[in-house]
């Protein structure tokens, strides 16, 4: 019995040693670097239609494979979003007549879990789906066209933010977020893989489009507090009704990134990950 236990322990130790060596390769093969190109769009007060006003977006990412099913990930994403009441369905939106566009600069970090064990270059496991969950920091800067010029909206306080006309201060252009995504990974060669992904980003603000309050601020008081441009861009309704509805606090703004790209394994060819042993 003792001999059998000893043999079992030796086999387990050998298997563990081999599995560690199998994923170590050159000390670098756990790491991958790559890029994705695709699109971004926004859903919120000024747009409720998916893929409308999709703009070109890109992402640079780094992946560290903890094992064959779990990876740590860093990524930097650039995108652009926009929305226009004039292009929404319904007379309410067309009359409200608000619009915005914003560049997005996002840095995210999180965990990626694959459905199947996976490694670039592995002949047995060539592809898998995955789930991604991250925390992010995003810089937003909603702007609108006014008299032929693009005007930054956040400094204006178009809903009276930062004055006694509102119950909140001006929102920050630096926002925390929660990116969630689904994707697929496919091994193309010994060191190159294909990456496809669709993800949504929930920010801790409802001012991605500069629209968050339910009612318009008093235009006379707003002009006195934040200037005439703030008052002019607060209420752009075609009928000029200052008692109409501006935004909807019950719904939150969010945006998406989707793309396709290549991942390159750093460190050259390796063996099967330890999970395959």
Per-residue pLDDT of the chain (277 residues; tens, 9 = 90+): 434 434 433 443 333 333 344 444 444 469 999 999 999 999 999 999 999 999 999 999 999 999 999 999 999 999 999 999 999 999 999 999 999 999 999 999 999 999 999 999 888 889 999 999 999 999 999 999 999 999 999 999 999 998 999 988 999 999 999 999 999 999 999 999 999 999 999 999 999 999 999 999 999 999 999 999 999 999 999 999 999 999 988 788 999 999 999 999 987 554 444 443 4
Would residue 157 be called left, alpha or beta, if left means φ above 0 and alpha means ψ between -120 and 50 degrees?
left
Sign (positive or negative) of CA dihedral 233, 235, 239, 242: negative
The two tokens of residue 99 are 């619009």
The two tokens of residue 202 are 């929930």
Query: For residue 17, is it within any domain?
Result: no
Domain containing 150: what range?
29-276
Query: For residue 252, is it within any domain?
Result: yes
What pLDDT was estimated at residue 268? 54
What pLDDT was estimated at residue 7? 41
Query: For residue 11, is it within any domain?
Result: no
What pLDDT was estimated at residue 151? 98
What pLDDT was estimated at residue 106? 98
Please tell me the total count of domains within the chain.
1
- Residues 96 and 209: their CA atoms lie apart, in Å, by 14
Q: What angle do CA 266, 195, 52 make, to 5 degrees?
A: 140
Measured distance between the N- and C-terminal CA atoms of the chain, rounded to whole angstroms: 26
Query: For residue 3, is it within any domain?
Result: no
What pLDDT was estimated at residue 21? 43
| Contact by Cβ (8 Å): 130, 138 | no
Q: The domain spanning residue 117 has which CATH number?
A: 2.40.160.20
Query: For residue 63, is it within any domain?
Result: yes
């Amino acid at each position: 019995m003792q001999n059998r236990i000893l043999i079992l322990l030796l086999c387990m130790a050998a298997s563990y040693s081999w599995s560690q060596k199998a994923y170590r390769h050159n000390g670098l093969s756990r790491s991958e670097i790559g890029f994705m190109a695709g699109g971004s769009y926004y859903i919120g007060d000024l747009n409720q239609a998916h893929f409308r006003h999709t703009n070109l977006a890109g992402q640079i990412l780094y992946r560290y494979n903890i094992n064959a099913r779990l990876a740590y990930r860093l990524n930097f994403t650039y995108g652009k979003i926009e929305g226009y009441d004039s292009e929404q369905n319904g007379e309410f939106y067309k009359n409200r007549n608000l619009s915005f566009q914003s560049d997005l600069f996002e840095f995210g970090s999180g965990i990626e879990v694959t459905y199947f064990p996976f490694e670039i270059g592995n002949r047995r496991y060539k592809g898998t789906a995955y789930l991604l969950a991250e925390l992010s920091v995003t810089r937003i800067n909603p702007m609108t066209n006014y008299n032929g010029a693009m005007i930054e909206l956040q400094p204006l306080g178009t809903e009276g933010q930062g004055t006694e006309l509102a119950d909140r201060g001006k929102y920050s252009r630096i926002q925390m977020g929660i990116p969630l995504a689904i994707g697929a990974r496919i091994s193309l060669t010994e060191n190159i893989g294909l990456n496809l992904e669709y993800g949504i980003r929930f920010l801790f603000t409802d001012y991605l489009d500069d629209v968050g309050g339910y009612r318009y601020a008093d235009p006379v008081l707003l002009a006195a507090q934040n200037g005439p441009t703030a008052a002019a861009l607060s209420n752009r309704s075609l009928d000029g009704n200052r008692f109409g509805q501006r935004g909807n606090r019950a719904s939150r703004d969010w945006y998406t990134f989707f793309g396709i790209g290549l991942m390159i394994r750093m460190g050259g060819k390796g063996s099967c990950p330890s999970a395959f042993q």
